Amino acid sequence: MNAGWRVATLMLAVYCGLAGGGWAGRVQADPAVKNRTYFEQRGEMIWEVATDQKVIALTFDDGPDPAETGQILDVLRKFNAKCTFFAIGKRLAEYPDIARRVAQEGHELANHTYNHVYFKPPISKKQVAEELVLTENEIVKITGRHSRLFRPPGGMYDETLVEISNTLGLKPVLWSWHQDTRDWNRPGVWNISQKVIRNARSGDIVLFHDHVYGESQTREALTIILPELAKQGYRFVTVSELIGLSETQQAKNRRNLAF
């Protein structure tokens, strides 16, 4: 099945489930607390990974941007850093050539909803499905394949959002709590860079933005962060690569080889 048909099939499955009550029996209130620990243990969401390798995943939200994304790509290329861009669907439709460059230069393009919707509980199943599918359609047009990851704007989620995104083959990805640079608020190049450098740990997922209101400080901060962390022995990988290097995934690989 090609990528375009896969997205269409997923969309049909989602709407059939919504219309026919197919999810009614699967997404129900549960008295148990459904928090980070719960979803991480089930492998349904990710904030960071445990790994013995010196790897970090830098991520960028809210693009593509006609100026900022290209400037960031230039810096990443200079330091041979591969990253993940959580893109807005309507911006993908508006700036497909920039998004195409992201993919062509070896970075990962992932889902950040079509309209940058903050999914405040109680979350609408229909709205989540529409936002994710519309964005997947744009990603497929650009890359020829379905993405694997999804970041909910603002980090807002509940069990319904996790269930729907997992059903669509998308793992929700947030970020290391100690690696929120708040670069969207333009706190200063030094503050952004030191936030990342001083808190760097293997398996981190760092939150940046490649589209902000006003003059971005992210590109300049990266020119400080990348060489310093590289000097410390860190490699910069996509989130999917990071997941593959996690202790959990490595253990699965060893079990498979044993058989």
The one-character DSSP state at 44 is S
Average pLDDT, the chain: 89
pLDDT attached to residue 90: 98
pTM of the shown model: 0.88
pLDDT at 20 over 50: no
* Percent of the chain predicted with pLDDT > 70: 83
pLDDT tens string 98-151:
999 999 999 999 999 999 999 998 899 999 999 999 999 999 999 999 999 999
pLDDT attached to residue 122: 86
- Of 55, 48, 52, nearest in space to 233 by CA: 55
pLDDT attached to residue 247: 72
* Residue 164 · residue 132 · CB < 8 Å: yes
Instruction: Kindly state the average pLDDT of the residues 6-22.
Output: 50
* Residue 79 · residue 112 · CB < 8 Å: no
Tokens, residue 199: 């808190």
Tokens, residue 75: 């810096």
**Token pair 């202790």: residue:** 247
| pLDDT band at residue 19 using 50, 70 and 90 as cut-offs | very low
* Residue 51 · residue 246 · CB < 8 Å: yes
Helix (H) or strand (E) holding 206: strand 205-209
Is 209 part of the annotated catalytic residue set?
A: yes
Hey, what CATH class is 3-17+40-258 in? alpha beta
pLDDT at 82 over 70: yes
Task: Please state, as a whole number, how many other Cβ atoms lie within 10 Å of the Cβ of residue 137.
Answer: 19
Delimit the domains of the chain by residue range.
3-17+40-258
Is 61 part of the annotated catalytic residue set?
A: yes
- 207 φψ region: left (φ > 0), alpha (ψ -120 to 50), beta (else): beta
pLDDT tens string 44-65:
999 999 999 999 999 999 999 9
pLDDT at 43 over 70: yes
> Which of 61, 62, 65, 204 is an active site residue?
61
pLDDT tens string 160-203:
999 999 999 999 999 999 999 999 999 999 999 999 999 999 99
SS3 of the chain: helix, strand, coil, percent, to 5: 50, 10, 40
Q: What is the dihedral of CA 156, 4, 90, 149, to 10 degrees?
A: 30
The one-character DSSP state at 107 is P
> Which of 107, 112, 209, 211 is an active site residue?
209
Non-local (6+) Cβ contacts of 142 within 8 A are: 92, 96, 99, 100, 103, 109
